[in-house]
Chain A
Amino acid sequence: MRLVILDNYDLASEWAAKYICNRIIQFKPGQDRYFTLGLPTGSTPLGCYKKLIEYHKNGDLSFKYVKTFNMDEYVGLPRNHPESYHSYMWNNFFKHIDIDPNNAHILDGNATDLQAECDAFEKKIKEAGGIDLFVGGIGPDGHIAFNEPGSSLVSRTRLKTLAMDTILANAKYFDGDLSKVPTMALTVGVGTVMDAREVMILITGAHKAFALYKAIEEGVNHMWTVSAFQQHPRTIFVCDEDATLELRVKTVKYFKGLMHVHNKLVDPLYSMKEGN
């Protein structure tokens, strides 16, 4: 793995956004060649989305030939509910960029046949040629997407019941009322994300530090599903200082020492403008 450590949340968000930007542009997407991007929700990626929007508004980055696949969506929440992931993606990303609505895929938590919806999603990913870069986060319980502790590490897109840790973490979006938080969600599986050609996990904040420790310094374990990515050939963990608080000093020093190498991935920052 690469472990990229930045001083604070803003710098981590910016590094991640620059990386995504460069990957898209270097791919040279076009009409017959779409860049496929897996996307997360939650508070962690907000800064990254803001920077990507900034690059788009500056004319440096277009999403015209990008296809996106979101990781998950609540079950039973109306699509236009302010806390649905559809609303999140519209307000925090899609409405600010030039992506074709037909290329923005999010699981439908109100489908009549939920498993069929999940199977169809897997099929769409396959038809799109697989995911080039899957961006994700980590839950305080070490989950990736809604693959709660105990999820199979080779799982596919399916319905999951949320763990108490997750419900507690999400209560803040529902006026702190636990009874209002959805209890089920559709989610890509660990195996689905492992299939991506590249994976980038964003982890910021001290409250995620223990999960990060479990994910990268302990063994591969279905209780901390992000640990599965120890077996992925190309994973980047992007974090801030606070997220490293539970790691060994040795680990942190090693990877900080590699920052000059890591920074070559984001500097120079490419642009889609003419002459760049």
Chain B
Amino acid sequence: MRGGQDGARAPVLQFTNCRILRGQALLREDLWVREGRVLDPEKLFFEERRVADERRDCGGCILAPGFIDVQINGGFGVDFSQATEDVGSGVALVAQRILSHGVTSFCPTLVTSPPEVYHKVLPQIPVKSGGPHGAGVLGVHLEGPFISREKRGAHPEAHLRSFETNAFHDVLATYGPLDNVRIVTLAPELGRSHEVIQALTARGICVSLGHSVANLQAAEEAVQSGATFITHLFNAMLPFHHRDPGIVGLLTSDRLPPGRHIFYGMIADGTHTNPAALRIAHRAHPQGLVLVTDAVPALGLGNGRHTLGQQEVEVDGLTAYVAGEPPAHPSSRGIQESGCCSVELALEAASLHPAQLLGLEKRKGTLDFGADADFVMLDDSLHVRATYISGELVWQAEAARQ
């Protein structure tokens, strides 16, 4: 064959009999993969004059980009905000277990904690590629402690902080080195927030507004300073008011920097947000919707006591006291079942939009040519049948194993 590069000799895998999510539509197309990336089969045919080395029949399933969860506090008994000696093992366990939910990349989230916890935990959660061992770690999401007292929700009051004294230096003193940090949630009404937002954004860290009593103007100014995300819309913020929509008003604000729009996280479990409210948000601004779990350590476990950072949480059935998360994984399926939006948009809200939020949309959250071959095989009810990372099967449902 032409070309002597090893890459060209790598095996080509063709997934057939499937529908792939591309350009907000489900197309009857095959998915071609080589060396962990999505391949352009037309280019392969005309330039390299090659066909697939292996074909896999997907039985009519949907192939969607792997889900990206940018807000998950732990799960399966693991609490990311616990300063243990071996945080890595906990992260690895969660990373492995969420594969069965179709999540291929995530941001381990830490709730409001004292500085000692951040200094001990953050260095133990490096950015890491996904694989058979588990979903990839994109970076840590720090939710707090620079948040509003009134809207602290489950966060412990004793450890809330402000940065009005030394702005960004206060931030560094609290968290320690920010190398592994990807997202910071803060309340923009806190004094000197603009300096902090600008400093974080300049370091490539995504700033999110949440746990806040900011009005719309304060929120807009925060976006102008660089904030790009809203943490769990509707929850832990002022309710929408027609004369001051508050943070919620960012969805339709005309005072955002040109060419930019705001992304907003939604916990689509039917509990945190009434489906009607979810639909209002999605109809106002469908392209900004990002599905998150905000899962707590109780995810995947039964009733009982679990931790959430410095707090204890009682889980009983579908409710968790101290505003937790039901032990089910709300996903595109949940949002679609609530009759909120189309399958295609629900899937994009769980993959493409979080990738766009983090500026990763060339490699993640998409099945465009050249992207990482992280994807999920779903049936028509959006149940996960199999999960792939870099074109490799990393999880498969029991029934599919025959």
Report which A residues bind B (CB closer than 8 A). Answer: 79-80, 86-87, 90-91, 94-95, 100-102, 104, 106
In the assembled complex, the Cα of A187 lies from the Cα of B49 at a distance in Å of 22
Min CB–CB distance A202 → chain B (angstroms): 25
Asked whether, in the complex, the Cβ of B45 is within 8 Å of the Cβ of A101, the reply is yes
Question: Is B305 in the interface zone, CB < 8 Å from A?
Answer: no
Asked whether, in the complex, the Cβ of A86 is within 8 Å of the Cβ of B42, the reply is yes
Asked whether, in the complex, the Cβ of B46 is within 8 Å of the Cβ of A101, the reply is yes
Asked whether, in the complex, the Cβ of A90 is within 8 Å of the Cβ of B49, the reply is no
Asked whether, in the complex, the Cβ of B43 is within 8 Å of the Cβ of A80, the reply is yes
Report which B residues bind A (CB closer than 8 A). Answer: 30, 40-43, 45-46, 48-51
In the assembled complex, the Cα of A102 lies from the Cα of B47 at a distance in Å of 10
In the assembled complex, the Cα of A80 lies from the Cα of B43 at a distance in Å of 8
Asked whether, in the complex, the Cβ of A101 is within 8 Å of the Cβ of B42, the reply is no
In the assembled complex, the Cα of A80 lies from the Cα of B49 at a distance in Å of 15
Instruction: Collect the chain A residues with CB atoms within 8 Å of residue B48's CB.
Output: 101
Asked whether, in the complex, the Cβ of A95 is within 8 Å of the Cβ of B42, the reply is yes
Asked whether, in the complex, the Cβ of B46 is within 8 Å of the Cβ of A86, the reply is yes
Given A91-B42, A101-B46, A101-B49, 20 new contacts (CB under 8 A)? A79-B46, A80-B40, A80-B42, A86-B42, A86-B46, A87-B42, A90-B41, A90-B45, A94-B45, A95-B30, A95-B41, A95-B42, A100-B51, A101-B45, A101-B48, A101-B50, A101-B51, A102-B49, A104-B45, A106-B46
Instruction: Collect the chain B residues with CB atoms within 8 Å of residue A87's CB.
Output: 42
User: For chain A, what secondary structure do more than half of its interface residues adopt (helix, strand, loop), or is it mixed?
Assistant: helix
Q: Chain A residue with minimal CB distance to B45?
A: A101
Min CB–CB distance B47 → chain A (angstroms): 8
Most chain B Cβ neighbours within 10 Å, of A91, A101, A104: A101
In the assembled complex, the Cα of A111 lies from the Cα of B68 at a distance in Å of 43
Give 27 CB contacts A-B under 8 Å. A79-B46, A80-B40, A80-B42, A80-B43, A86-B42, A86-B46, A87-B42, A90-B41, A90-B42, A90-B45, A90-B46, A91-B42, A94-B45, A95-B30, A95-B41, A95-B42, A95-B45, A100-B51, A101-B45, A101-B46, A101-B48, A101-B49, A101-B50, A101-B51, A102-B49, A104-B45, A106-B46
In the assembled complex, the Cα of A95 lies from the Cα of B41 at a distance in Å of 8
Instruction: Collect the chain A residues with CB atoms within 8 Å of residue B40's CB.
Output: 80
In the assembled complex, the Cα of A266 lies from the Cα of B48 at a distance in Å of 37
In the assembled complex, the Cα of A91 lies from the Cα of B42 at a distance in Å of 8
Most chain A Cβ neighbours within 10 Å, of B42, B43, B51: B42
Q: Chain A residue with minimal CB distance to B43?
A: A80
In the assembled complex, the Cα of A49 lies from the Cα of B127 at a distance in Å of 49
Q: Chain A residue with minimal CB distance to B30?
A: A95
In the assembled complex, the Cα of A90 lies from the Cα of B50 at a distance in Å of 13
In the assembled complex, the Cα of A86 lies from the Cα of B40 at a distance in Å of 14
In the assembled complex, the Cα of A79 lies from the Cα of B42 at a distance in Å of 10
Q: Chain A residue with minimal CB distance to B29?
A: A95
Instruction: Collect the chain B residues with CB atoms within 8 Å of residue A94's CB.
Output: 45
Q: Chain B residue with minimal CB distance to A101?
A: B49
Min CB–CB distance B125 → chain A (angstroms): 41
In the assembled complex, the Cα of A91 lies from the Cα of B40 at a distance in Å of 12
Q: Chain A residue with minimal CB distance to B47?
A: A79
In the assembled complex, the Cα of A87 lies from the Cα of B46 at a distance in Å of 10
In the assembled complex, the Cα of A91 lies from the Cα of B41 at a distance in Å of 10
Min CB–CB distance B17 → chain A (angstroms): 11
In the assembled complex, the Cα of A210 lies from the Cα of B51 at a distance in Å of 43
Closest A-B pairs by Cβ, 6 of them: A101-B49, A90-B42, A101-B45, A102-B49, A86-B46, A90-B45
Instruction: Collect the chain B residues with CB atoms within 8 Å of residue A90's CB.
Output: 41-42, 45-46
Most chain A Cβ neighbours within 10 Å, of B43, B45, B49, B50: B45
In the assembled complex, the Cα of A101 lies from the Cα of B51 at a distance in Å of 7
In the assembled complex, the Cα of A107 lies from the Cα of B46 at a distance in Å of 11
In the assembled complex, the Cα of A91 lies from the Cα of B50 at a distance in Å of 16
In the assembled complex, the Cα of A101 lies from the Cα of B46 at a distance in Å of 7
In the assembled complex, the Cα of A273 lies from the Cα of B46 at a distance in Å of 29
Min CB–CB distance A259 → chain B (angstroms): 36
Most chain B Cβ neighbours within 10 Å, of A80, A87, A102, A104: A80
Min CB–CB distance A63 → chain B (angstroms): 12
In the assembled complex, the Cα of A80 lies from the Cα of B370 at a distance in Å of 15
Q: Chain A residue with minimal CB distance to B50?
A: A101
Instruction: Collect the chain A residues with CB atoms within 8 Å of residue B42's CB.
Output: 80, 86-87, 90-91, 95
Min CB–CB distance A128 → chain B (angstroms): 16
In the assembled complex, the Cα of A118 lies from the Cα of B35 at a distance in Å of 36
Instruction: Collect the chain A residues with CB atoms within 8 Å of residue B51's CB.
Output: 100-101
Min CB–CB distance B206 → chain A (angstroms): 34
Q: Chain A residue with minimal CB distance to B51?
A: A101
Q: Chain B residue with minimal CB distance to A103?
A: B49
Q: Chain A residue with minimal CB distance to B40?
A: A80
Instruction: Collect the chain B residues with CB atoms within 8 Å of residue A91's CB.
Output: 42
Min CB–CB distance A29 → chain B (angstroms): 18
Min CB–CB distance A223 → chain B (angstroms): 35
Instruction: Collect the chain B residues with CB atoms within 8 Å of residue A106's CB.
Output: 46
In the assembled complex, the Cα of A79 lies from the Cα of B46 at a distance in Å of 9
